Amino acid sequence: MIATIQYNSRKLKIDLTQPLDISMPIRASNDNVTAWYVDAPKIEPVKDGEWVASVKDGACINFNNIEFNPHGHGTHTECVGHITEKRHSINENLKQFFFLAEVVTVAPEQLNGDAVISKKQIQFALGNKKRDAVVIRTIPNTASKLSMQYSNTNPTYLLEDAAVYLREKGINHLLIDLPSVDKEKDDCQLLSHNAFWNTKGKIRKDATITELIYVPNRVQDGEYFLNLQIAPFENDATPSKPILYKILEPV
């Protein structure tokens, strides 16, 4: 189905039958992506004595408990409540779910033995484009990201000045294929989180960071219509399912 959407001052034509899912699933498997020193997720049937809530075990239903961590087990969207003493819920603060997004591919630079994404790289990738959201894909970009065990690997991260630039450019939604926008071990400075949410000024409660996405290579860099879907947890972060739609042509 081709839809024509009025978005701010523009009319956009998109094909709703061609979604591009850039989320990672949560699987009860040791091959599930993990970060932050957590074990694999668990999806197990409820047990009540000898009764097991699984059709294959004789029950009439499948009725599972799920144990996972939104930050460590797959694609998740977080709000400023991730780093503030005051409670802020992603479900309370994210009230719009469709945005104009730019997909950019970045080859991390080396800085003092770390792989980093710099302000200069983001500036070059975005140019003078005005977007609500930016989707950052790092290279190399292989399917191994879907099962990566990130703990104690010092993954690539975003430099603070890059986060400041994104904030000042008006980017409200930052999506990235890494476990964090900050260095794995940084003495809890969380420089890029703090910079993006502007915790030293007027906090951007409606701004979000989505981590551990996976952007397949078939998705080209450029402009997309983003549907940022979240599960309604009253928590700083929730599993999410960002979906991109290619903009066919301006109307």
| pLDDT above 50 (res 77) | yes
Other CB atoms within 10 A of residue 133 CB: 23
Which pLDDT belongs to residue 62?
98
Is the pLDDT confidence value at 129 over 80? yes
Annotate 15-46 with b (16+ C-beta within 10 A) or e (fewer).
eeeeebbbbbebbeeeebbbbeeeebbeeebe
Q: Count of alpha carbons within 13 Å of 70, Cβ hemisphere only?
A: 20
**Domain ranges (residues) in the chain:** 2-29+70-250
The percentage of residues in the chain with a pLDDT greater than 90, rounded to a whole number, is 95
Round the average pLDDT of the chain to a whole number and report it: 96
Mean pLDDT over residues 4-11, rounded? 88
* pLDDT at 113 (0 to 100): 96
pLDDT computed for residue 231 by the predictor: 97
Residue 8 scores a pLDDT above 90: no
Nearest 5 degrees, angle CA 96-CA 97-CA 99?
100
**pLDDT (tens digit, 9 = 90+) per residue, 132-172?**
999 999 999 999 999 999 999 999 999 999 999 999 999 99
pTM tops 0.85, yes or no: yes
- What local confidence, expressed as pLDDT, does residue 250 receive? 55
pLDDT computed for residue 173 by the predictor: 98
The per-residue pLDDT for range 97-122, each reduced to its tens digit, is: 999 999 999 999 999 999 999 999 99
Quote the CA–CA distance of 114 and 156 in Å, as a whole number. 7
Res 9: pLDDT: 86
Percent of the chain with pLDDT over 70: 99
Query: Cα separation of 210 and 26, whole Å?
Result: 15
Q: What is the pLDDT of residues 181-240, one digit of tens each?
A: 999 999 999 999 999 999 999 999 999 999 999 999 999 999 999 999 999 999 999 999
**Domain covering 2-29+70-250, topology:** Glucose Oxidase; domain 1 (3.50.30)
Vertex 117: Cα angle to 131 and 139 (nearest 5): 90
**Mean pLDDT, residues 15-22:** 96
pLDDT reported for residue 131: 97
What pairs with residue 251 in β-bridges?
none
On the question of pLDDT at 251 being above 90, the answer is no
**pLDDT value, residue 228:** 98
109 touches 222 (CB < 8 A): no
Task: Please enumerate, as own/partner, the contacts of 115-118 that have beta carbons within 8 Å and a separation of 24 or more.
Answer: 115/155, 115/156, 115/157, 116/156, 116/157, 116/158, 116/159, 117/156, 117/157, 117/158, 117/159, 117/162, 118/159, 118/161, 118/162
